[in-house]
C-alpha cells in the first residue's frame, strides 16, 4: 500500500466520521441566523490525491512541502513530513463550511487576520495547494478562531479565499504554520534526564568541563559533580551543575539540512547514559545560526535508543535556538561561585 493510497484512505475515513457527526449535530441549532451554507472548497475532496505541493506563508516566513516518490517532504531539505499532520490539514480544509459572510473591505481584514500574506507583519496563514504540474488546487487565507458561533466541540474560524474580496466565518478550523515544528517531528535527541551519567563539554580553545553523576542530593535529585576541581573551589549550587549536564539530553531543531558542516566546531560535547549510550555533539557557528551535528558513538546496553538516534541524526545537520546553543558552550566559570 503506497503512502498516497494511505492518505486517500485516511481522508475518506475521517470524512465519513465527520459526516456522521454532522448529521447528529444537524438536529440542534448550530449557527446564528444568516448562515450561507456550502463548502469553502467544494472540489477539494475530489482532487485531494492530485495534490503534490503545499506552501504556507505566515509572518514573513514560508515553508514548502512536496510529494516525492510517495512521501511528503519539506523542500529543499528533504526532511519527512508527519503523515498525520498532513491528513489533519487536508481533512480540515475539506470540512470548512461557510456560515456567514464577513467583511469585503481590505482595511478590515487585519481584524479577522485574513489580510494578504505578502507583508512581514501579516497574521494570516496563507496555505496554497498545487498539483504535480504546479497548477493551483486551492489557496486560502486562514484567520483567527471565532467563538460563540457553533455548539459543542465544533470550532469556527475566519477565512478568505485568496483573490476574493469577501471573507467568511466558517465551521471548522485548520492550523497550518510556516515552521518546521508545524509539520515534522523536530526532536533530535530525547534522553530521560534521570538516565544521564556523564557529560563533557570542550571549547575550541581547549577548555574542558567534565560532569559526573555521583549520587543523590538530600532532596533525592541526581547529584552531579565537576571533575578536576581544585581543593577549596565549589560550584554555585548543585542545581546549576545538574542542569549543565542534563540540558544536553533533550534537543529540538528549528531548521535542518543535509550534512554540510566542516572545519573546527565552536564546541564539542559527549553525553553518556547509565546504559552506556554515548552521543557526540559538534556545534558550529555560521553567521547568526547555530548548527549541530550529532553522532552515535556507542550503543552500550541501549540498542533500541541507539537505533532510534541513528535513524534520526545520520546525514543531517540541525539548526538550534540560541538559548540551546549556549548550553553546549558552558564553561567551568559559569558554574563556580566567583566570590569564594
- The C-alpha cell of 334 is what? 559559569
Backbone angles phi, psi at 327, to 5 degrees: -70, -25
Residue 257 in 3-state DSSP?
strand
Segment 69-108, tens digit of pLDDT: 889 999 999 999 999 999 999 999 999 999 999 999 999 9
Distance CA 91, CA 46 (A): 12
83-97, 133-147, 219-233, 296-310, range with the lowest pLDDT: 219-233
- pLDDT band of residue 36 (cuts 50, 70, 90) is low
| Mean confidence (pLDDT) of the chain | 88
Residue 96 in 3-state DSSP?
coil
Whole-number pLDDT of residue 340? 52
Backbone angles phi, psi at 284, to 5 degrees: -120, 140
DSSP state of 329: T
In the predicted structure, residue 25 carries a pLDDT above the cut 80:
no
In the predicted structure, residue 20 carries a pLDDT above the cut 90:
no
Q: Where are the domains of the chain?
A: 3-182, 187-335
Whole-number pLDDT of residue 37? 72
Cell 571549547 -> residue: 203
In the predicted structure, residue 32 carries a pLDDT above the cut 60:
no
End-to-end distance of the chain based on CA atoms, in angstroms? Answer: 67
Segment 236-269, tens digit of pLDDT: 889 999 999 999 999 999 999 999 988 899 999 9
Scanning 96-174, the segments in alpha helix (DSSP H) are 109-112
- The C-alpha cell of 89 is what? 490539514
In the predicted structure, residue 194 carries a pLDDT above the cut 90:
yes
Single out the residue of 182, 191, 110, 175 nearest to residue 140, CA to CA. Answer: 175
pTM of the model: 0.81
In the predicted structure, residue 5 carries a pLDDT above the cut 60:
no
Single out the residue of 295, 291, 297 nearest to residue 263, CA to CA. Answer: 291
Single out the residue of 324, 196, 304 nearest to residue 249, CA to CA. Answer: 196
Distance CA 339, CA 127 (A): 56
Distance CA 72, CA 80 (A): 6
Segment 268-285, tens digit of pLDDT: 999 999 999 999 999 999
Distance CA 141, CA 164 (A): 10
Amino acid at each position: 500500500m503506497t503512502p498516497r493510497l494511505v492518505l486517500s484512505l485516511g481522508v475518506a475515513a475521517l470524512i465519513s466520521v465527520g459526516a456522521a457527526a454532522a448529521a447528529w449535530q444537524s438536529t440542534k441549532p448550530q449557527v446564528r441566523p444568516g448562515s450561507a451554507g456550502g463548502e469553502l472548497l467544494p472540489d477539494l475532496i475530489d482532487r485531494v490525491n492530485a495534490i503534490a505541493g503545499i506552501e504556507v506563508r505566515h509572518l514573513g516566513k514560508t515553508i514548502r512541502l512536496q510529494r516525492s516518490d510517495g512521501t511528503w517532504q519539506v523542500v529543499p531539505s528533504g526532511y519527512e513530513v508527519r503523515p498525520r499532520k498532513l491528513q489533519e490539514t487536508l481533512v480540515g480544509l475539506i470540512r470548512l463550511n461557510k456560515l456567514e459572510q464577513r467583511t469585503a473591505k481590505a482595511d478590515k481584514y487585519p481584524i479577522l487576520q485574513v489580510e494578504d500574506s505578502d507583508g512581514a507583519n501579516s497574521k494570516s496563514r496563507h496555505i496554497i495547494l498545487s498539483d504535480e504540474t504546479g497548477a493551483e488546487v486551492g489557496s486560502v487565507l486562514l484567520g483567527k478562531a471565532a467563538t460563540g458561533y457553533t455548539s459543542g466541540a465544533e470550532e469556527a474560524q475566519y477565512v478568505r479565499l485568496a483573490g476574493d474580496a469577501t471573507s467568511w466565518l466558517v465551521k471548522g478550523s485548520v492550523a497550518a504554520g510556516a515552521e518546521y515544528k508545524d509539520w515534522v517531528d523536530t526532536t533530535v535527541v530525547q534522553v530521560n534526564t534521570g538516565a544521564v551519567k556523564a557529560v563533557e563539554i570542550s571549547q575550541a580553545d581547549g577548555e574542558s568541563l567534565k560532569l559526573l553523576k555521583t549520587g543523590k542530593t538530600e532532596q533525592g535529585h541526581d547529584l552531579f559533580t565537576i571533575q578536576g576541581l581544585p581543593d577549596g573551589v565549589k560550584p554555585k549550587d548543585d542545581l546549576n551543575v545538574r542542569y549543565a549536564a542534563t540540558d544536553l539530553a533533550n534537543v529540538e531543531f528549528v531548521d535542518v539540512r543535509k550534512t554540510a558542516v566542516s572545519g573546527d566546531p565552536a564546541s564539542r560535547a559527549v553525553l553518556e547514559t547509565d546504559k552506556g549510550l554515548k552521543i557526540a555533539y559538534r556545534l558550529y557557528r555560521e553567521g547568526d545560526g547555530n548548527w549541530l551535528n550529532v553522532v552515535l558513538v556507542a550503543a552500550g546496553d541501549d540498542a533500541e535508543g541507539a537505533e532510534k538516534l541513528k535513524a534520526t541524526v545520520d546525514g543531517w545537520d540541525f539548526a538550534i535556538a540560541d538559548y540551546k546553543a549556549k548550553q553546549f558552550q558552558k564553561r567551568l566559570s559559569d558554574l563556580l561561585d566567583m566570590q569564594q
